[in-house]
Amino acid sequence: MSVDTVRTARLTAGVDLRKTDCHPDFWYPIAWSDEIKPGAMVARVYAGEPVAVVRAKDGKLFALENRCAHRQVPLTHGVVQGCTVKCGYHGWAYDASGACVDVPYLGKERLPNGVKAYPCKEVDGLIFIFPGDPALAELHALPEALGSSAKSSYKTRQLNRHVEAHYSFMHENLFDMNHQFLHRKQMGMIKAKCLGKRSGPDWCEVDYTFSRTEGQGTVGEAAILGVVRKQGEGDNADLMTIRTGYPYQDLKVWVGSGEPVLHVWLGYTPLDKEQRKNRTFGYLSVKRPKIPGLIEAAWPFITMFTEQIFKEDKEIVEMEQAAHDAQGDDWNNEVFPPIRELREVLARCGVPNGTRPDPQSRIAAE
């Protein structure tokens, strides 16, 4: 099939997935819990909109548009006083709902409009905001747990990186294990075999098993699988299941029976208005073996191995984004059925770029 034919097919379909925004009516990770102490706040961004994430003196979390309604300067340039935020310019104060509760030189009888407030929750050490319609925040519930990060039977590390690529590239990269050739220096030549796939309106799953056809893996790879592998269980006992449950992803690896030996949870938060950049938040959890201290001894090798894998993935999806930007359209010729289903889920659940309501327009209309 020629390049022109592929391009024509994509344009005829009418949907450029790389110009499809994350749907705002879901919870998105915005900061790590330990980044915000009581009485402090941090500046973050969601799809080009500045967000101030605040922890009040009593520990209560809330999130506000990071622009004072007066002169539009960042609220994070100010201070937290009790359960309010005071702008560092003129001292205008806002409560957790975004209402302006004090203008020092006007008194409390002549208060102007406030700022947008975001529903805000904390789960397993991550802080989430709900950037869409607040009335839907409780309907679209957060996951009860982020992978296996809270389980004492696992040792867990944070995954945290800025990636210059659209979130859909992230979903596809994890979902498609046929790209193991990319990681040949870390894992040798690995052949992925797709065992099956499943999908629904807002989710899809794919199963793989693996065999090494050439070379050998690093100590880090062996550490993840070897510390929990039972005697007599070979490579073919391994099973990987990857799930996109919009807008998050999970990856689980089993070696024989029992709990997964590896569990990865990931959330992708768009940073710029065009959503060509994202911040990836996640947890990587490895099952603790019965031998005390073994996982701690193996952990430096596991960390080095996984960091190198993520580095290679980051570089390749950023190349994909650069190619899309240079071509102006999505020319990808996708032939793998699970990825085709994944793309359908992402297109169905997302919204066309730029259709998210403008927070400033909403406030002005109130």
Q: How many domains does the chain have?
A: 2
Residue 313 covered by a domain: yes
Domain end (from 136, 166, 188): 136
Residue whose tokens read 């570089």: 315
Query: Do 159 and 264 belong to one domain?
Result: yes
Residue 361 has pLDDT above 60, yes or no: no
Tens of pLDDT, residues 307-345: 999 999 999 999 999 999 999 988 888 999 999 999 999
Query: Do 235 and 103 belong to one domain?
Result: no
Please give the residue that has the higher pLDDT: either 227 or 64.
64
- As a whole number of angstroms, the distance between CA 180 and CA 212 comes to 11
Query: Do 298 and 163 belong to one domain?
Result: yes
Residue 196 has pLDDT above 70, yes or no: yes
- CATH number of the domain within which 257 lies: 3.90.380.10
Residue 146 covered by a domain: no
Q: Considering the chain, what is the average pLDDT of its residues?
A: 87
Query: Do 336 and 247 belong to one domain?
Result: yes
Residue 203 has pLDDT above 70, yes or no: yes
Per-residue model confidence (pLDDT) at position 46:
98
Residue 291 covered by a domain: yes
Residue 277 has pLDDT above 70, yes or no: yes
Query: Do 200 and 333 belong to one domain?
Result: yes
Query: Do 163 and 285 belong to one domain?
Result: yes
Classify residue 220 as exposed, middle or buried by CB count within 10 Å of its CB (0-12, 13-18, 19+).
buried
Q: How far is CA 95 from each of CA 28, 69, 130, 131, rounded to the nearest angstrom?
A: 22, 13, 18, 18
Spell out a b/e string for 108-121, using b for 16 or more CB atoms within 10 Å of the CB, else e. eeeeeebbbbbbbe
Per-residue model confidence (pLDDT) at position 356:
58
Residue 120 has pLDDT above 90, yes or no: yes
Residue 358 covered by a domain: no
Domain end (from 110, 136, 162): 136
Please give the model's pTM, rounded to 2 decimal places. Answer: 0.88
Residue 109 has pLDDT above 80, yes or no: no
User: Taking the CB of residue 279, how many other CB atoms lie within 10 A of it?
Assistant: 21
Domain hosting residue 296, numbered range: 154-352
Instruction: Report the range of poorest mean pLDDT among 14-23, 99-108, 173-182, 326-335.
Output: 99-108
Q: Write the CB contacts of 241 (distance below 8 Å, at least 6 apart in sequence).
A: 205, 206, 207, 208, 251, 252
pLDDT tier, 148 (very low <50, low <70, confident <90, very high otherwise): very high
Residue 63 covered by a domain: yes
Query: Do 241 and 94 belong to one domain?
Result: no
Query: Do 177 and 114 belong to one domain?
Result: no
Tens of pLDDT, residues 205-256: 999 998 776 655 555 565 565 544 444 444 446 899 999 999 999 999 998 7
- CATH number of the domain within which 126 lies: 2.102.10.10
53, 228, 261: which is closest to 148 by C-alpha? 261
Residue 366 covered by a domain: no
Domain end (from 136, 169, 192): 136
Which pair of structure tokens corresponds to residue 144? 């009860």
Residue 11 has pLDDT above 70, yes or no: no
Query: Do 128 and 179 belong to one domain?
Result: no
Query: Do 88 and 57 belong to one domain?
Result: yes
The separation between CA 149 and the C-alpha centre of its own chain, rounded to angstroms, equals 15
Query: Do 111 and 185 belong to one domain?
Result: no
Query: Do 347 and 198 belong to one domain?
Result: yes
Residue 15 covered by a domain: no
Written in H, E and C, the secondary structure of the chain is CCHHHHHHHHHHHCCCHHHEECCCCCCEEEEEHHHCCCCEEEEEEECCEEEEEEECCCCCEEEEECCCCCCCCCHHHCEEECCEEECCCCCCEECCCCCEEECCCCCCCCCCCCCCEECEEEECCEEEECCCCHHHCCCCCCCCCCCCCCCCCEEEEEEEEEECCCHHHHHHHHHCHHHHHHHHHHHCEEEEEEEEEEEECCEEEEEEEEEEEECCCCHHHHHHHHCCCCCCCCHHHEEEEEEEECCEEEEEEEECCCCCCEEEEEEEEECCCCCCCEEEEEEEEEECCCCCCHHHHHHHHHHHHHHHHHHHHHHHHHHHHHHHHHHCCCCCCCCCHHHHHHHHHHHHHCEECCCCCCHHHHHHHC
Which pair of structure tokens corresponds to residue 154? 């696992």
